[in-house]
A and B are shown apart, each in its own frame.
Chain A
Amino acid sequence: MTKIEFNKDTKFSMKHNKKTDRIMQNILLIPTVLSASFVLMILIFISQRGVAPFLPSEYGNESVNFLRFITGVTWYQPPNSYGIFFIVVNTVFVVALSSLIAVPISVFTALYIAKMTPKPISKFFQTIIELLASVPSIVFGVFGLGVITKVVLWIASIFGLQTAGGISTLATVFVLAMMILPTITLLSITAINSVNLDLEKNSLALGASKMQTYFKVTLVSAKSGIFAGIILGIGRALGEATAVSMVAGNAGSGPSFDLFSTTRTLTSTMLLGLKETTGLDYDIRFSVGMVLILLIILTNLGLNYLKKKVGRFS
């Protein structure tokens, strides 16, 4: 048996070895800090631009009155009566309605996929939902403008109501519900799948029917995970822009709770009538963006608090 020796120490001295790792660790810290800094960048730079419309130093006597901005119920360009209050109310209204539609459908779908159907079918349906989740917003927009508005028009005609070509609160709600449905469904499936099977078996052994077990045991045990899905869905709904602005219309005042009239959400305000300009009408969109970020954070905090309360037994 031969032993081939090679010099192990010439190139990589002990110090060198330790150093490479430490240097590498520091080098790798750079992209990590960079990645992490973007959230801060968003907060800093968007606030910087978003505050500008309120500063007389930036816009002189054209500057927007902040109090009017947060309490206002009209959104007109000149004269700059930018009031965001009704837009926030409309946004919350639209998102709440769309989650009301999407949540039961999602939970049922998740239950069906996770529990009530044989493996191949369930796999097929799960793939369908995953594909639906990956459909880009703009395609939902085209579908919304091409089909959903017509459906709304048709519903309106049944009730003898008026609607501006179907571009309405209801169309926005439908489009949003469609878009958050896969998000909530997929998380609910995970939640339901992680419920201990013994619980179900126990329930069945106690003489409960399958449906009773699903509703009283499975869903109840999975509620925390399902709630996480709902939070994610609502977050997505709040921030969804392209599709919403294609079907929301451009209501200049509000708040309006009429399902068949046009509406205006924070995101549609940011996109609609965007004329690639600089100036007040452009910068004010950054202020709207700030409000949107704030709304999302607050909603998240609120819902997470609620989730803790809901999930305290699980």
Chain B
Amino acid sequence: MKTENVFQITNLNLHYGTKQALFDIAMEIPKNQVTALIGPSGCGKSTLLRSLNRMNDLIDNCHVDGLVQYENDDIYDKNYDVINLRTRVGMVFQKPNPFPMSIFDNIAYGPRCQGVKDKKTLNEIVKNALVNSALYDEVKDRLKEAATSLSGGQQQRLCIARAIAMSPEVILMDEPTSALDPIATAKIEELIQELKKDYTIVIVTHNMQQAARISDNTAFFLMGELIEYDKTDLIFSQPSKKQTEDYITGRFG
């Protein structure tokens, strides 16, 4: 079966000021699969993730060379609409970061920013997002309460719901479980498995077991270079590169 790619990255070089953070990255991200980016701290995996929805724009002296195509469009083209890109490529961050508003308003935030005002539609969107993020039963009676009153795991699922509410095509996850306890982590992982039916997911993780458990493809980064990228089971069972083997067997990192 031929897989369709949502992202096509070619010759991507990224500098923070004079410091180069990514070297000649080339990879494709297949649709409706979970792609995990692994590697030691500072290897550039988060940087790569953020260059997929151009969150790196926010960093002052970040400079990008090369080509990142989303559905065949160069997202770094100067006429490319970033805002639109971000509505289609959602993101979940390392630390749960619900806005200081109610649960409902948090989820409705994105659609509202897009000009959705109709109460009924919003209700529907919020409910659907909560159901899809497996949070609905827990919060359905307290939608008006502050989002910060939720537990850490719930907050993270809320952030996922918030991303889902935009009905994106891709969801980028930057170590979404690193701030959570094992039970909450398990719930999120379960959720990711559910979500991949409808969404393409790119996840940065520190936790190799997690990558092994949930991802279809895994990319291993070291010092800003893409060392190896393949089906997850292949990476973990018979890595082709020595560094990859060293890393996943825990010899460094």
Contacts and interface: CB of A to CB of B under 8 A. Distances in A.
Q: Does a CB–CB distance below 8 Å link A and B in the complex? A: yes
Interface of A: 1-6, 8-14, 17-18
Interface of B: 79, 81-84, 87-88, 111, 114-116, 121, 124-125, 128, 132, 166-167, 194-195, 197-198
A5 B167 contact: yes
A9 to B, nearest CB: 7
B125 A8 contact: no
User: A interface, by DSSP: helix, strand, loop or mixed?
Assistant: loop
A108 B96 CA distance: 46
A9 B84 contact: yes
A305 B120 CA distance: 66
Given A1-B194, A3-B167, A14 B114 contact: no
A18 B85 CA distance: 13
Contacts of A14: 79, 81, 83-84
B225 to A, nearest CB: 34
Contacts of B116: 6
Contact of A17 (B84, B88, B166): B84
B201 to A, nearest CB: 14
Contact of B114 (A2, A3, A4, A8): A8
B47 to A, nearest CB: 24
Contacts of B125: 4, 6
A9 B116 CA distance: 11
Given A8-B84, A14-B83, A17-B83, A1 B132 contact: yes
A13 B115 CA distance: 11
B124 A8 contact: no
Contact of A3 (B84, B111, B198): B198
A11 B114 contact: yes
Q: Which 5 A-B pairs have the closest CB atoms?
A: A14-B81, A11-B115, A17-B83, A8-B87, A4-B128
B83 A12 contact: yes
B198 A1 contact: yes
A160 B83 CA distance: 82
